[in-house]
Amino acid sequence: MKICVIGGGGAIGGYLAVMLARAGNEVTVVARGTTLAAVKERGLALIMDDQPEPLVAHVKAVEKIADVETPDVIMLAVKAHQVDPIIHDLAAIMGPETVLIPMQNGIPWWYFQKLAGEYQDHSVETVDAGGVAKKAINPNNIIGCVVYPATFTQAPGVIRHVEGNRFPLGELDGKPTERIQKISEVMAAAGFKSPILEDIRSEIWLKLWGNMTFNPISALTHGTLEGICQYPLTKELARNMMAEAQSVAEKLGVTFRVDIERRIAGAEKVGKHKTSMLQDLEAGRSLEIDALLGSAIELGQITQTPTPCLNAVFALTKYLDENVQASKGSLALPSVSGY
């Protein structure tokens, strides 16, 4: 397939680009600055613990989305707040059959599109102010995806894989189409696990359940996943936040295949791991708080569901982020994408 990875020099985008290119697909990555230069000169390199040498893929690399030939599939591997500035350039390279796979954490802009029921076609203002993305991209071109692997950028054009290879996929209306079957097969041939789900939104909530809880708590406390889950007060806060989120999600027809205690236990087993939000904080980078928590609070407002714990943690983390962005005085660390 002809595949474009936007954010192809980043942690998740680079991982996808290397594996898909080595599986025989025609891959183009959109990157910038030193990453673009490195990819053009040496290709993209992926370091994996089970491989004695880095896996290298020589892919086409461009700086501008406009320079990409219309692909079969676009993988949008940038953070949620980076979507709006590029959405019209993205729409311009899409053909009528091009499939767009957004890979952002949190509630996506397309969440209510093709969702049967009273909330169909509602906008998610927190991640798509004014409905810009919703208007620019035809929902018929979108396939949903949840990103589970943990990776980080070790150097420009060099990605280190930490763990995981799951990228579940789902049509927005849950139908088992021919195109999603083909993409799932292409992903499998590249070494990924991409099961086709009838209800991709429930999978989004399952991952978000942890991200929206442990990420901001870790940023506020500088605690690891293990520490947050073992300290009684933060564990109770996490439990209350997850209960509020579950109430919101269930009003939208979402089902959770695990319960709160099992989800917390799973996070604890990860160990003394810093969440990506804590690492972003320590590096002085902008926090994904709107996509991970603000969007869930907005859905609570839409469904008239009280979210007092979510609101309080959001307010504190949002203010923390604004202070960090104003000062920019922290030590840079690699950011792990996944948790």
Which residues form the catalytic set? 207
Q: Where are the beta strands (DSSP E) in 69-130?
A: 73-76, 99-102
DSSP element (H, E) containing 185 = helix 178-189
318: left (phi over 0), alpha (psi -120 to 50) or beta: alpha
Provide the terminal-to-terminal Cα distance of the chain, rounded to the nearest Å.
29
What is the spatial distance between Cα 94 and Cα 109, in angstroms, rounded to a whole number?
18
Q: Label residue 51 exposed, middle or buried (CB < 10 Å: 0-12, 13-18, 19+).
A: exposed
- The DSSP annotation for 277-334 comes to HHHHHHHTPPP-HIIIIIHHHHHHHHTT---HHHHHHHHHHHHHHHHHHHH------P
